[in-house]
């Protein structure tokens, strides 16, 4: 399986959003990653439903929604109606994670759980068999363009072992500081899905960056 690439819209040019969405549609990107922030779970606010409605209308790629918000179960129906493919909740934001996973799946979306850099992989042992994907944060969530946390490589290896041991089908996704130096090492450690914001959108030739990341 070739590496799945999901550019993160957070680093797009919001004054020319349509142009960037057209670039994504033309490109070899597999999915579009959407970062939703509430200013409570993370110290930043990103974009909300008026923008998302437009993005969902124009984007031809599956939407990978990353909810950096408290009580992420509140918006299940809104994102289902928007056509989200993946509903990605933070482990740290869910008191009843098992229930939330089933509520995602009951709506026909794929269920993913995200781990902050300080949350160990073992916290997912009792839900790993139910998951379609685990997102390992490789920076502290909230901002694009941050520096990669090196310990993430060990974490990906550990998650890879857990998935193998339990026979889970979960994909491993990483998000934050993914660039041409970190991406090959992440793929080697077992990553299936690369999220990339600034490396893609700040490049002179974003389509070429996407193509190169896919070949890793």
Residue nearest to ligand DX5 (CB): 197
Question: Which residues are part of the catalytic machinery?
Answer: 35, 175
206 binds, among Zn ion, ligand DX5, none (CB under 5 to 8 A by kind): none
177: nearest Cα among 194, 189, 159: 194
Min CB(173)–ligand DX5 separation in Å: 10
Q: Which residues are near ligand DX5 by CB under 6 A?
A: 8, 10-11, 33, 35, 66, 139, 141-146, 175-178, 195-199
Which listed residue (163, 175, 189, 196) binds Zn ion by CB under 5 A?
A: 175
Min CB(200)–ligand DX5 separation in Å: 8
Residue 78 CA to residue 82 CA, distance in Å, equals: 6
125 vs 151, beta carbon nearer ligand DX5:
151
**Number of C-beta neighbours around residue 179 at 10 A:** 15
43 vs 129, beta carbon nearer ligand DX5:
43
Find residue 194's DSSP bridge partners. Answer: 5, 174
Which listed residue (66, 69, 152, 187) binds Zn ion by CB under 5 A?
A: 66
56 vs 166, beta carbon nearer ligand DX5:
56
Distances (CA, A) of 78 to 65, 104, 115, 146, 176: 12, 12, 23, 30, 26
Backbone φ and ψ of 156, nearest 5°? -65, -40
Please answer whether residues 32 and 61 qualify as being in contact, where contact means their C-beta atoms are separated by less than 8 angstroms.
yes
Min CB(86)–ligand DX5 separation in Å: 13
Residue 83 CA to residue 95 CA, distance in Å, equals: 25
Interface residues toward Zn ion, by CB under 5 A: 35, 66, 175
């Amino acid at each position: 399986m070739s590496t799945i690439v999901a550019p993160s819209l957070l680093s797009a040019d919001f004054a020319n959003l349509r142009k960037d969405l057209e670039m994504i549609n033309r490109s070899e990107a597999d999915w579009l990653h959407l970062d939703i922030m509430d200013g409570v779970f993370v110290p930043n606010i990103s974009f909300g439903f008026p923008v998302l409605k437009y993005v969902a209308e124009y984007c031809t790629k599956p939407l990978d929604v990353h909810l950096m918000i408290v009580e992420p179960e509140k918006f299940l129906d809104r994102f289902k109606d928007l056509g989200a493919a993946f509903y990605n909740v933070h482990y740290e934001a869910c008191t009843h994670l098992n229930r939330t996973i089933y509520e995602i799946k009951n709506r026909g979306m794929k269920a993913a759980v995200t781990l902050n850099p300080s949350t160990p992989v073992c916290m997912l042992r009792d839900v790993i068999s139910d998951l379609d994907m685990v997102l390992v944060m490789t920076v502290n969530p909230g901002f694009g363009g941050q520096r990669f946390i090196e310990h993430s490589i060990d974490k990906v290896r550990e998650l890879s072992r857990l998935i193998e041991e339990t026979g889970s089908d979960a994909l491993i996704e990483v998000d934050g500081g993914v660039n041409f130096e970190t991406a090959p090492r992440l793929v080697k450690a077992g990553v299936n899905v690369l999220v990339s914001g600034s490396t893609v959108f700040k490049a002179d030739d974003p389509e070429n960056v996407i193509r190169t990341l896919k070949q890793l």
